[in-house]
Amino acid sequence: MKWKMMGMQAFLCASLLHCVCADHVDADTSGTWDFIYTHLMLLWINRFCIYSCAAVGIALWICSHFISRKSKEPKYSSQNGSPVLQTEKLEKENHCSPKEIFVSGVKIFYGSQTGTAKGFAHLLAEDITGLGLPTDIINLMEYDPDDHLAEETTSKNICVFLVATYTDGQPPKSAEWFCKWLEEASNDFRYGKTFLKGMQYAVFGLGNSVYSNHYNTVGKNIDKWLWMLSASRIVTRAEGDCNVVKSKHGSIEADFSAWKFKFLERLQALMEGETKACTGKRKKGTCKSMKTSSTEALAEEENRADNSENEQTEEELYETTSESEPEEAGEGGSSGLIDVEDLGKAMRNMKKSKNVGSDPGSPGKPVQSEEPREMITPALQKALTKQGYRLIGSHSGVKLCRWTKSMLRGRGGCYKHTFYGIESHRCVETTPSLACANKCVFCWRHHTNPVGTEWKWKMDQPEMILEEAIENHQNMIKQFRGVPGVKADRFEEGMAVKHCALSLVGEPIMYPEISRFIRLLHEREISSFLVTNAQFPEEIRCLEPVTQLYVSVDASTKDSLKKIDRPLFKDFWQRFLDSLKALAEKEQRTVYRLTLVKAWNVDELRAYADLVTIGKPDFIEVKGVTYCGESSASNLTMANVPWHEEVVHFVQELADLLPDYEMACEHEHSNCILIAHKKEEWWGSRIALVLPGGFGH
């Protein structure tokens, strides 16, 4: 301000000086300058008033500018000790702020062999969609983990893995690459141990506890590898068991439903912002309690030190989950601490609890009050009913073959009619056991039946099974009454059962009352044909004589038998050989049944001939495998079905290696040929009459 006033004074002085000096220059302009001079002098005299007005104006401008700037600054208020914008506070009060998203969606990955895991994936997706979350169902075969898996660490997605365990503990074909990549990544230092930190996941494995050495191996491994890469498990890993006897909830479907309920419950909590972590030690796939008592911790450490070689099987007895925490807290007391003097007693109690369930004779083992479970589960019932079965009781079934329909119309019968004179429309095709000890690649039941190495299910009486088998057969025959082409005499014959083929799906010799069942057949003068898969030598020795006893010889070497039959028994080859020896001891009609699978077992003629010398069967049926359509449980195609000419050529070469046998007859429609033993220079294949003893004459 000082400099401005001095400048104005200088300007006025210069103006006056100019006016005075200009008087002698131009006299004509004197009037104009007098006018200017008068006004300038007026301004000079009133200069203090002018200065005051200017100062007041500048002050007002400064004040107005300061006030307007102050009003534009954001206003803060204190909340929980931290500044909060008042505008944000107002927005929250008015519910205008966007809601924070804790879970953006769920990705369900599945690896399936028979389609069960895929079906579970779709069921889970439906329930998740009902919660309002977007869901993706992804086949692991179509997923590249190298490109996409790391994205899940920041996506806020929950990744669910539903993976089955296949032969020898291997993943199904669709999950092979994913498992291989994940295993390598978990052991590769270049990825680092925090490669998947931030990823949230859950695992449900599908398996069969009958295969004890490889039960749910794939699910366990995926859970372990993800854990090793620092991914966060949101819920305890669960294991679905196809073995209804040992399934925790009675079937694999029930196991999945129980796990699904827990998963959805946990998912809803995460959606609401719950941040409680699900952590686990030793890669076991469980959500460990954060309040583990010192007793449990000490016992666990001792168990790990003393039984490191059995860690895989024993540690899971001590795994505690978040679901079991309240129970354990209630039983163990409020503090969870014990005196040093009591440690010895506590450790003894922990060892006792470890032995419960592992030692069948342990006095501390809880008594099983449950009755044996039924073999037929709702899922199995649905599958077999769809295939045309009439189910009987809890473990049996009967079915009408297509050759029955053919003979009712006066046409030809099946190969048993050609070989042995069995009339198809008077033959009941049934089984007292839907369970089997093998999972053969050419099984035409698509592996819908249960498997096992011994009988563990609820058992029905043979009288009831036989009565209902005959009744169901007759009811199915009645459906052809009045059908065009059905002959009246054949229809009446079909109502009188004369033969019973104990084959179908499953292993009939596993049924504990099989001998009694056979006696009931023979008492009714019904011939019996029993087929076994050569895995139960002792049962063959103890078996009641049947009209004709079959043994399936699906391969001639140990490796090919394992590849084709996929047996459950570890000593399957010795059992196979012992079964053939037991067959040779039976003083009755015996048959080898060979199923030829092209590119699998058609090049082992010498080995087949050696097996024939062991069992010394009366007949050898050689049949080309039947292609039953595409099945996820088998990789057989039409290319594996031999032509009839190829079967004939195989039989001729085999007969040349067996001097006591020769080709007897063939049934081209079934792609089947019979080789018969030349006893007393005749074959004796026809069965004309069945006496009460059960033998055909």
DSSP secondary-structure letter at 200? Answer: E
Residue 210 inside a domain? The answer is: yes
Three-class DSSP category at 487? coil
Question: Which of 21-35, 141-155, 426-440 has the least mean pLDDT?
Answer: 21-35
Q: Which domain holds residue 160?
A: 105-271
C-alpha–C-alpha distance, residues 231 and 225, integer Å: 9
Backbone angles phi, psi at 686, to 5 degrees: -70, 140
C-alpha–C-alpha distance, residues 450 and 436, integer Å: 7
The last residue of a domain, from among 236, 271, 306: 271
Give helix 2-21 / helix 30-45 axis angle, nearest 10°: 150
pLDDT tens digits, residue range 295-307? 344 344 444 434 4
C-alpha–C-alpha distance, residues 543 and 45, integer Å: 143
How confident is the model at residue 632, as a pLDDT? 52
C-alpha–C-alpha distance, residues 69 and 77, integer Å: 19
Question: Which of 31-45, 120-134, 336-350 has the least mean pLDDT?
Answer: 336-350
C-alpha–C-alpha distance, residues 602 and 608, integer Å: 10
Residue 373 inside a domain? The answer is: no
Residue 60 inside a domain? The answer is: no
Burial of 63 (0-12, 13-18, 19+ CB in 10 A): exposed
Residue 90 inside a domain? The answer is: no
Residues 567 and 449 placed together within one structural domain of the fold:
yes
Half-sphere exposure (Cβ direction) of 257: Cα atoms closer than 13 Å: 8
Q: How many domains does the chain have?
A: 2
Cα 148 vs. chain centroid, distance in angstroms? Answer: 22
Residue 434 inside a domain? The answer is: yes
The CATH number given to whatever domain includes residue 392 is 3.20.20.70
Name the residue with tokens 């200088």.
10
C-alpha–C-alpha distance, residues 299 and 354, integer Å: 10
The CATH number given to whatever domain includes residue 257 is 3.40.50.360
Residue 289 inside a domain? The answer is: no
Burial of 466 (0-12, 13-18, 19+ CB in 10 A): buried
C-alpha–C-alpha distance, residues 310 and 307, integer Å: 5
CA–CA distance from 311 to each of 144, 221, 237, 305, 640 (Å)?
33, 15, 17, 10, 43
**H or E segment and range at residue 160:** strand 157-164
DSSP bridge pairs for 309: none
Residues 471 and 589 placed together within one structural domain of the fold:
yes
How confident is the model at residue 630, as a pLDDT? 58
Residues 263 and 384 placed together within one structural domain of the fold:
no
How confident is the model at residue 357, as a pLDDT? 44
How confident is the model at residue 285, as a pLDDT? 56
The last residue of a domain, from among 271, 305, 321: 271
pLDDT tens digits, residue range 514-543? 999 999 999 999 999 999 999 999 999 999
C-alpha–C-alpha distance, residues 162 and 205, integer Å: 6
385 pLDDT higher than 80 = yes
DSSP secondary-structure letter at 449? Answer: S
Residues 389 and 245 placed together within one structural domain of the fold:
no
**H or E segment and range at residue 618:** none
How confident is the model at residue 376, as a pLDDT? 87
pLDDT band, very low/low/confident/very high, at 432 (cuts 50, 70, 90): very high
Name residue 64's amino acid.
Answer: S
Residue 697 inside a domain? The answer is: no
Q: Give yes or no for a contact between 658 and 629, defined as CB atoms under 8 angstroms apart.
A: no
Of 182, 170, 186, 106, nearest in space to 138 by CA: 106
C-alpha–C-alpha distance, residues 336 and 151, integer Å: 41
How confident is the model at residue 323, as a pLDDT? 35
Three-class DSSP category at 243? coil
Of 326, 266, 342, nearest in space to 290 by CA: 326
The residues, any chain, with a CB within 8 Å of residue 39's CB and separated by 6 or more, are: none
The residues, any chain, with a CB within 8 Å of residue 402's CB and separated by 6 or more, are: none
pLDDT tens digits, residue range 319-367? 333 333 333 333 333 333 334 344 344 445 444 444 544 444 444 344 4
Residue 281 inside a domain? The answer is: no
The last residue of a domain, from among 238, 271, 304: 271
C-alpha–C-alpha distance, residues 476 and 463, integer Å: 20
Residues 501 and 618 placed together within one structural domain of the fold:
yes
Of 15, 53, 374, 437, nearest in space to 210 by CA: 437
C-alpha–C-alpha distance, residues 321 and 262, integer Å: 12
Name the residue with tokens 């092979």.
176
Residues 259 and 386 placed together within one structural domain of the fold:
no
> What is the residue-averaged pLDDT of the chain?
78
Q: Which residues of 12-35 are buried (b: 16+ CB within 10 A; e: fewer)?
A: eeeeeeebeeeeeeeeeeeeebee
What is the edge-to-edge ordering of all strands in the sheet holding 499-502? 390-392, 396-399, 427-431, 499-502, 527-532, 548-553, 590-596, 619-624, 672-677, 661-667
Compare 600 and 404 and report the one with higher pLDDT: 404
Residues 264 and 399 placed together within one structural domain of the fold:
no
Residues 112 and 244 placed together within one structural domain of the fold:
yes
pLDDT tens digits, residue range 195-248? 999 999 999 999 988 888 889 999 999 999 999 999 999 999 999 998 888 888
CA–CA distance from 527 to each of 413, 421, 507 (Å)?
17, 12, 19
Looking at the chain, the whole-number percentage of residues with pLDDT higher than 70 is 72
Of 237, 241, 221, nearest in space to 229 by CA: 221
pLDDT band, very low/low/confident/very high, at 377 (cuts 50, 70, 90): confident
Residues 116 and 262 placed together within one structural domain of the fold:
yes
463: phi > 0 → left, psi -120 to 50 → alpha, else beta; which?
A: alpha
Q: Give yes or no for a contact between 590 and 620, defined as CB atoms under 8 angstroms apart.
A: no
